[in-house]
Amino acid sequence: MTQALAPTSRIGILGGGQLGRMLALSAARMGLDVVIFDPEPDCPASRVAAETVTAAYDDLDAVAKFAASVDAVTYEFENVPAATAAAAAEHAPLRPGAKALDVAQDRLTEKTFLNAHGATTVAFRPVSTLAELHTAISELGLPAILKTRRFGYDGKGQAVIREMSDAEEALAAMNGQPAILEAFADFTHELSIVAARGVDGEVRAYPLSENRHSDGILRESLAPAKVSDETTKTALGMATRVLDALEYVGVMGMELFALKDGTLLVNEIAPRVHNTGHWTQDACTVCQFEQHIRAVAGWPLGDPVPHASARMVNLIGHDADAWEDWLKTPNAVLHLYGKRETRDGRKMGHVNVLGSL
Amino acid sequence: MTQALAPTSRIGILGGGQLGRMLALSAARMGLDVVIFDPEPDCPASRVAAETVTAAYDDLDAVAKFAASVDAVTYEFENVPAATAAAAAEHAPLRPGAKALDVAQDRLTEKTFLNAHGATTVAFRPVSTLAELHTAISELGLPAILKTRRFGYDGKGQAVIREMSDAEEALAAMNGQPAILEAFADFTHELSIVAARGVDGEVRAYPLSENRHSDGILRESLAPAKVSDETTKTALGMATRVLDALEYVGVMGMELFALKDGTLLVNEIAPRVHNTGHWTQDACTVCQFEQHIRAVAGWPLGDPVPHASARMVNLIGHDADAWEDWLKTPNAVLHLYGKRETRDGRKMGHVNVLGSL
């Protein structure tokens, strides 16, 4: 393991929200120092990091200096600008690499890439004009979903088209940004697989979780999901092919739609630790945050085997006001992100409620 | 629960070593901000804290300012000077309180207090002169152990007396400090109980652990210890009486000797999270660090129930060089403290190896 960093090395993380914070906590447990880079002063991760750089992502001098001061760089969000990633990668290993960001940042690139590597998605068409949208609708059928190609998250930048007459308004909602029309997936449930790839190419995945969203935001995950071995095998195969094709290092989240006939479609990938993997913090010996840090540090991956089942409940906005009730709930583990202000729709924390396997 | 701090409150910790670091990590997981006070710049806990005050413990202005900036103060070591504790307690709740420090800092006070509250110890005598030592030896028999009354830890400040002729040298080893002669406990094994008391007076204890020391340093703990219900009940009774008598808030470690005839004697108490409780980090839903922070924050205590058995292995000095082997060991969880320099006898980290209950 000549690529392994020493245990007192410095890990740089682009982004200091809750994912950066939880990565920092796992890294610290293993003796590593974390340096956070975030434009926001007093961001959640800054309060658990050895050092914080407060600068804009497009301040490439600051990015270069940050990367030069650490032994490896990773990130907590998929919208790291390409120039930022490139500036960091010049001075330290960037894990996962720029290719993962490139693929994950554009829904058209992403779906094209996924299908090219045997990770099937819904049918889709690029759309820039109303004429293209009309053609795409006639090819894919209705309902369908129009999405901006870039910078969508938590259901933002999306418009459902149920009738041809919705088309114009949906396109207007894209604000002139390049869009993609996606066929509607008539799924029976939403699943995800969180998998890691080490520097040596080894892939290890957690059991699938079943996820429930509302208003485009994840509310709950149940894990391990009650799915067939066949479903697990298919998901793991798709994740492995994608990880290998991206020469990926770190943890990746892959969201899946399960159709009535058993077909699995990939909704999207996230080149980072994933909200649907939070259950692993308390139900597995090695959680997704530790697994990601192990990969980034060039360390051997851990066993992604749960010792309990878990229901992960996101605390959105004022859900977090019930923190004291959660503290009193047996087998519940409370995670709060230290955000100063409670806002509707804001992820304030989560709870893992453990059960028997 | 009107005494409960809000989840974005600030917890001040006197001492920034590994215990402060692990307390900080648990506090952060629940959304709390931690402020570390330590004379040493770049101490292990400083790198996971929201803020660090670098000042001497006898800089009472700095202590007062630190305490005024937080919502509660706790500590990671029992030798917090009385004046420091008093200065802190003027500006924020000090948990555990000054009485716990007073009792724990002096072996004579401690043993007197313990026996007064039904927590039996070995017989002991205060010793300042050679004449007193000779008398004490003739009363307690040999072998016996001469210890400094104050500032002993990890076997430091102790001398075993096997024959009357060892007395003079043993006394000289005390360097003129007040001492205590303790009768030798012919124990079959060393146990400990880690128990917490909340602001409301509720006491909750983890199962006992069995501990193995060498050269005065803890090497391994096995938990839950294979002891009778009677032993557990006796230990819990002693811990509860002591916690109540101290009006204690937080986690306390109580070291026990188990004699051949089943008698349990208290060796010493530590008014803080305890090395023999590290196993709870990975074998319990609520570990000793979270439990301590809950108590300090005036929050409800958690369930101290393990979901696994554990063998905790301390990584002393160059033991920690085997970190990569531990990362590859199934069911092992590696904890490293981020200490820059590996020194013989220095606690660098520990590993919890989990098993079935």
pLDDT of residue A151: 80
Interchain contact, B338 vs A8, CB within 8 Å = yes
pLDDT of residue A1: 43
Separation between Cα atoms, residue A156 and residue A175, nearest integer Å: 12
What is the secondary structure of A297-339 as a DSSP string?
A: TTPPPPP--BSSEEEEEEEEGGGGGGHHHHHHSTTEEEEE---
pLDDT in tens, B216-237: 899 999 999 999 999 999 999 9
Among A55, A53, A50, A63, smallest CA distance to A92 is for A63
Q: How would you class A292 by CB atoms within 10 Å of its CB: exposed for 0-12, middle for 13-18, buried for 19 or more?
A: buried
H or E element at residue B253: strand B250-259
Cβ-Cβ contacts under 8 Å, A330 against chain B: 303
pLDDT of residue B185: 94
Separation between Cα atoms, residue B73 and residue A48, nearest integer Å: 18
**Does B173 contact chain A (CB < 8 Å)?**
no
ipTM here? 0.96
pLDDT of residue B235: 98
- Angle in degrees, CA A21, B332, A3, rounded to 5: 65
Kindly state the DSSP code that residue B251 receives in the 8-state scheme: E
Separation between Cα atoms, residue A290 and residue B298, nearest integer Å: 30
Cβ-Cβ contacts under 8 Å, B327 against chain A: 294, 299-300, 302
Interchain contact, B294 vs A327, CB within 8 Å = yes
Q: What is the CA radius of gyration of chain A?
A: 20
pLDDT in tens, B4-18: 999 999 999 999 999
**Does B328 contact chain A (CB < 8 Å)?**
yes
Q: Which CATH architecture has domain A123-183?
A: 2-Layer Sandwich (3.30)
Kindly state the DSSP code that residue B302 receives in the 8-state scheme: P
Q: Which residue has the tokens 């420090």?
A: B101
User: What residues form DSSP beta bridges with B13?
Assistant: B36, B74
C-alpha distance from B322 to closest chain A C-alpha (Å): 11
Q: Where are the domains of chain A?
A: 10-94, 123-183, 187-355
Interchain contact, A330 vs B32, CB within 8 Å = no
pLDDT in tens, A37-81: 999 999 999 999 999 999 999 999 999 999 999 999 999 999 999
pLDDT of residue B1: 43
pLDDT in tens, B269-298: 999 999 999 999 999 999 999 999 999 999
Judged against a pLDDT cut of 80, whether residue B41 lies above it is answered with yes
Interchain contact, B307 vs A307, CB within 8 Å = yes
Interchain contact, B303 vs A335, CB within 8 Å = no
Q: How confident is the model at residue B152 (pLDDT cuts 50, 70, 90)?
A: low
pLDDT of residue B156: 73
pLDDT above 90 coverage of chain B, percent = 96
Interchain contact, B31 vs A331, CB within 8 Å = no
**Are residues B23 and B74 in contact, defined by beta-carbon separation less than 8 angstroms?**
yes
Judged against a pLDDT cut of 70, whether residue B56 lies above it is answered with yes
Q: How confident is the model at residue A154 (pLDDT cuts 50, 70, 90)?
A: low
3 state SS of B195:
strand
CB atoms within 10 A of CB A330: 11
For A47, the closest of B50, B333, B335 (CB atoms) is B50
Cβ-Cβ contacts under 8 Å, A320 against chain B: 7
- Tell me what the pLDDT averaged over chain B comes to: 96
For B337, the closest of A1, A31, A340 (CB atoms) is A31
Mean pLDDT of B105-110: 97
Q: Which CATH architecture has domain B10-94?
A: 3-Layer(aba) Sandwich (3.40)
pLDDT of residue B216: 86
Mean pLDDT of A246-267: 97
**Does B32 contact chain A (CB < 8 Å)?**
yes
For B47, the closest of A30, A33, A328 (CB atoms) is A33
pLDDT of residue B155: 65
Separation between Cα atoms, residue B293 and residue B280, nearest integer Å: 14
pLDDT in tens, A276-317: 999 999 999 999 999 999 999 999 999 999 999 999 999 999
**What's the CATH fold of domain B187-355?**
D-amino Acid Aminotransferase; Chain A, domain 1 (3.30.470)
H or E element at residue A204: strand A203-205
Interchain contact, A286 vs B328, CB within 8 Å = no
For B48, the closest of A28, A299, A339 (CB atoms) is A28
Give me the amino acid identity at B185.
Answer: A
**Does B41 contact chain A (CB < 8 Å)?**
no
| A&B contacts, CB < 8 Å | 110
User: Number of H helices and number of E strands within chain A?
Assistant: 11, 17
pLDDT of residue B3: 79
**Are residues B53 and B35 in contact, defined by beta-carbon separation less than 8 angstroms?**
yes
Cβ-Cβ contacts under 8 Å, B23 against chain A: none
Judged against a pLDDT cut of 70, whether residue B104 lies above it is answered with yes
Kindly state the DSSP code that residue A97 receives in the 8-state scheme: -
pTM check: above 0.95: yes
For B1, the closest of A320, A324, A339 (CB atoms) is A324
- Tell me what the pLDDT averaged over chain A comes to: 96
